[in-house]
């Protein structure tokens, strides 16, 4: 790892009190949750339909039995625990250094690590609602049901995750954009930056300290002030 770059990042973190962390699936791979686009990610495995088709709104409506089989097998990891990255971000927030976490992840691991201000752009597997009466169901409620989950009122229960073709929640977007605009240091990590509109949120940053940490190149490496092509855990273990 480049020690000069690491020293720069360390000093930026020391000087900051409005850090915003923008993350993706790569933040949770070291907790055992596969990402989508790595070589061993979900998009490089074979299914009867491409994953982006299965997790679309149209497919959810038309073929719920296949949707829920895939969702249960490939998107729920109830045993996963926060890793060093989740934990360090929670610590920075507690120390008054970190303003917010903006995440594309749906696994709830930032909150499990103790983070309070988390903008979940794509929702969370921990929230599920009846489509008819809007009753709330937890992840364990859903796991206790089989196949297509149904509410006691007979309505179908939908996970509060944003499927392809669905829009993002307005309040979450506003909170995330406002945090990014106010950031004195923006750390973007573990994301291929290929899912829109989420990837465009980077353009809201107005500062000069945009750090990108990703195992592989991303489409936006060119706009970053500091780029690390490393595993997140290996960078974060060297940070304050
Ligand atoms: P992606 O497109 O799969 O990209 C992940 C990126 O992370 C890749 O570029 C990897 O090279 C990189 N990466 C993987 N592991 C590491 C690591 N240990 N250190 C550094 N970099 C690493 O995922 P995005 O988040 O960009 O795409 C957005 C989708 C993926 C969102 O809609 C998510 O909801 C969805 N997703 C979420 C989860 C989760 O909640 N944990 C898991 C899988 C997919």
The alpha carbon of 27 and the centre of ligand 1 are apart by a number of angstroms equal to 7
Indicate the CATH number for domain 3-33+81-122+162-236. Answer: 3.40.50.1220
When pLDDT is averaged across residues 191-208 and rounded to a whole number, the result is: 91
- Bridge partners for 186 per DSSP: 20, 210
Tokens coding 34: 């596969």
When pLDDT is averaged across residues 17-45 and rounded to a whole number, the result is: 88
Report how far residue 209's alpha carbon sits from residue 205's, in angstroms, rounded to the nearest whole number. Answer: 9
Residue 68, judged by CB atoms within 10 A of its CB (0-12, 13-18, 19+), counts as buried
When pLDDT is averaged across residues 195-201 and rounded to a whole number, the result is: 86
Report how far residue 89's alpha carbon sits from residue 222's, in angstroms, rounded to the nearest whole number. Answer: 25
Confidence of residue 41 (pLDDT cuts 50, 70, 90): low
Mutate which of 36, 103, 212 for ligand 1? The one with the most ligand atoms within 8 Å of its CB, which is: 36
Question: Which residue from 94, 34, 17, 93 is spatially nearest to 102, judged by alpha carbons?
Answer: 93
Residue 192 in this model has a pLDDT that exceeds 80:
yes
Atom of ligand 1 nearest to the CA of 41: 3
Confidence of residue 223 (pLDDT cuts 50, 70, 90): very high
143-177 tens-digit pLDDT: 999 999 999 999 999 999 999 999 999 999 999 99
Torsion of the alpha carbons at 95, 119, 161 and 166, rounded to the nearest 10: -160
Do 176 and 188 form a contact (C-beta atoms < 8 A)?
A: no
Please identify which residue in the block is written with the tokens 């929702």: 123
DSSP labels for 9-51? HHHHHHH-SSEEEEE-GGGTGGGT---SSSTTSGGGS--SS-H
Atom of ligand 1 nearest to the CA of 23: 25
The alpha carbon of 64 and the centre of ligand 1 are apart by a number of angstroms equal to 25
Mutate which of 35, 111, 124 for ligand 1? The one with the most ligand atoms within 8 Å of its CB, which is: 35
Say which DSSP state 185 is in.
E
When pLDDT is averaged across residues 52-77 and rounded to a whole number, the result is: 95
Atom of ligand 1 nearest to the CA of 30: 18
Lowest mean pLDDT among 40-54, 100-114, 190-204: 40-54
Confidence of residue 36 (pLDDT cuts 50, 70, 90): confident
pLDDT for residue 39: 61
When pLDDT is averaged across residues 188-208 and rounded to a whole number, the result is: 92
- What are the domain boundaries of the chain? 3-33+81-122+162-236, 34-76
Confidence of residue 37 (pLDDT cuts 50, 70, 90): confident
pLDDT for residue 54: 93
Ligand 1: residues whose CB is within 6 Å?
A: 24-26, 28-30, 33, 35-38, 41, 104-107, 122, 190-192, 194-195, 214-216, 231-232
Please identify which residue in the block is written with the tokens 């625990």: 81
Residue 99 Cα distances to 26, 120, 149, 181, 222, angstroms: 21, 14, 37, 11, 25
Q: Report the nearest-CA residue for atom 14 of ligand 1.
A: 26
Confidence of residue 1 (pLDDT cuts 50, 70, 90): confident
83-98 tens-digit pLDDT: 999 999 999 999 999 9
Report how far residue 148's alpha carbon sits from residue 131's, in angstroms, rounded to the nearest whole number. Answer: 13
Atom of ligand 1 nearest to the CA of 232: 19
Q: What is the mean pLDDT of the chain?
A: 95
Calculate ∠ Cα 213-214-216, nearest 5°: 145
Phi, psi (degrees; rounded to nearest 5) at 128: -140, 140
pLDDT for residue 201: 94
């Amino acid at each position: 790892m480049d020690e000069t770059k690491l020293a720069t990042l360390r000093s930026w973190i020391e000087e900051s009190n409005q850090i915003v962390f923008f993350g993706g699936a790569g933040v949770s791979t070291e907790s055992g949750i596969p990402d989508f686009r790595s070589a061993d990610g979900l998009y490089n495995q074979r299914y009867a339909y491409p994953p982006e088709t299965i997790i679309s709104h149209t497919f959810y409506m038309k073929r719920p039995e296949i949707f829920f089989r895939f969702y249960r097998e490939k998107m729920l990891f109830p045993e996963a625990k926060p890793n060093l990255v989740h934990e360090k971000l929670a610590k920075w927030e507690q120390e008054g250094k970190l303003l917010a976490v903006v995440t594309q992840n749906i696994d709830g691991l930032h909150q499990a690590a103790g983070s309070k201000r988390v903008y979940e752009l794509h929702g969370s597997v921990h929230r599920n609602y009846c489509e008819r009466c809007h009753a709330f169901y937890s992840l364990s409620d859903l796991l206790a049901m089989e196949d297509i989950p149904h509410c006691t009122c007979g309505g179908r229960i939908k996970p509060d995750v944003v499927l392809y073709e669905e829009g993002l929640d307005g309040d979450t977007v506003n909170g995330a954009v406002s945090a990014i605009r106010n950031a004195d240091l923006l750390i973007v990590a573990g994301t291929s930056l290929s899912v829109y509109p989420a990837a465009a949120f980077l353009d809201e940053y107005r500062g000069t300290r945009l750090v990108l940490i990703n195992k592989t190149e991303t489409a936006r490496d060119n706009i970053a002030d500091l780029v690390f092509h490393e595993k997140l855990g290996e960078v974060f273990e060297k940070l304050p």
